[in-house]
Each structure stands twice: as C-alpha cells, then as structure tokens.
Amino acid sequence: MNGLSNLITLVAPALFAVLLPIAAQAEKVTLGLSQEQDGGAAGRACMYIHQGQAEYRVVKPNELCPATLTIEAASHRT
C-alpha cells in the first residue's frame, strides 16, 4: 500500500494543476426570469434559461421570483 500512497501523493497535485485552470474559467452571468409557476402552498417555481439549459429556484408561497439570477457559468475558449 506504500506504493499506492506515493502514487496518490504524486498524482493529486498534478490533477489539481490540470483542473484549476478549468475552474478558473467561470464567469458570472445574470439571467432574466423566463417563467414562473405558482405551486400554491408548495411555493413558486422560478425558471431562468441560459444556453439552452434551465436554472430553477423555488421561493416561498408569499414571495415573488427574483427578476434576475446571477450564476457562475463556464466560459468557452474560441
């Protein structure tokens, strides 16, 4: 098991070095409210669309959906 421990010790930093730049490419994007649905006592469903994908949030029955939502989205290199 000592060899496995040494391998993990060597591979883990290399893995973080590769993945860290990918994570650093995230950018904040503000989305506008696309649709909301009243669910009665269960609350209100808020839907925001970004690049063909939906972001959902649920708020309490007596609250309104926020007009905008800020998310972190991966930026694409061209």
Query: Could you report the per-residue pLDDT of 4-14, keeping only the tens digit for each?
Result: 554 455 545 55
Torsion of CA 44, 35, 53, 58, to 10 degrees: -10
- Alpha-carbon separation of residue 6 from 10, 12, 17, 18, 20 (angstroms): 6, 10, 18, 19, 22
41-51 confidence digits (pLDDT tens):
999 999 999 98
**What does the alpha-carbon distance between residue 44 and residue 63 come to, in Å, rounded to a whole number?**
8
**Domain residue extents for the chain:** 25-78
